[in-house]
Amino acid sequence: MPRVFPEKGFVDSKNINKNLGIKAITHAVSNKSTFLKIIKDRKIKLPSMLDQLKKKTPFVENLYGLNDCNYFSAGFDYNSKFHQWPFAFLFRKSILKREQFHTFKSYIVAKSWFVFLKHLKKYDLNTLLEARKKRTVAKKSIDKFLETGRPGLFWKFENVLIWAYENTKVKKRVKKEMVDFIKSKELSNNYAPVFIGKHYHDNYYYKEIEICSTAPVSLDDKEFIGVYIKKEKINKMIPILKRSFSGEIIVYDGKKAKKLSAF
């Protein structure tokens, strides 16, 4: 799935990461129907292969050529923190060596807009001030940025940021700054699993890792190791998993991991 942004309170990912005992790459899923559809298809499809899917932040993704990608995490960020999604597919970190994966040591969408706002403040403040008038949420977020240096909920007013980008007198300059920033944060495919191994258990305020895949990922892949299912949902899902997978895959509930055959 593409990135979807949270409304819930923060839940630390520290324990759910450590309890598995494996430094897994995860693709989190927010609902049962999508989880079951991926199992049925035997693959995690790209957004372009799905119907009626509205992306939250298409502009920045298009800017970097990642407009048709799926997001993965180093650990269970989407299943804890703000999102608290109940499902995920688990892969070995060695899958990041493949060319279809792009691993960044930063949150590419959020930090790209932050770079944009900083440069607009410095080089074209008038356009930034004009943008804040477009929507109430834009005014609140831009005011917060001007007062504290921290942006607000940028995904709620990306259309206003796009307007500012298209109308700024320093468009060429800020585009270069945004693209250069993200290029500086991308890890090589060979080094990505090593970096993940070093920073997998970093705390929320330090670890910033974004992973994108620009090709579908098969559940028949040798790097696929199992699924995460929130504990209260596991019992109903086990029969479906047993019909679909070998008993050797891992089923993890955030506290304990067992082979499917052990259920």
- Which structural domain, as residue segments, surrounds residue 27? 14-99+189-262
Section 160-179 average pLDDT: 94
Query: How do residues 191-249 score in pLDDT, each as one tens digit?
Result: 999 999 998 887 665 678 899 999 999 999 999 999 999 999 999 999 999 999 987 89
- Output the six-digit token pair for 79: 């299943």
Residue 143 has pLDDT above 50, yes or no: yes
Query: How do residues 1-46 score in pLDDT, each as one tens digit?
Result: 444 444 455 466 777 888 898 999 999 999 999 999 999 999 999 9
- Output the six-digit token pair for 252: 């993890």
Residues 93 and 197 in one domain: yes
Residues 82 and 150 in one domain: no
Domain count, the chain: 2
Residues 95 and 216 in one domain: yes
Helical residues (DSSP H) of the chain, grouped into ranges: 14-20, 32-41, 58-63, 108-123, 125-131, 136-148, 158-167, 171-185, 192-199, 234-244
Domain termination residue (choose one: 154, 185, 216): 185
Section 107-117 average pLDDT: 90
- Which residue type does 183 have? K
Domain termination residue (choose one: 124, 153, 185): 185
What is the pLDDT confidence band of residue 56, given thresholds at 50, 70 and 90? low
Residues 123 and 84 in one domain: no
Q: Is residue 3 part of a domain?
A: no
Which of 46-60, 228-242, 248-262 shows the lowest per-residue confidence on average (mean pLDDT)?
46-60
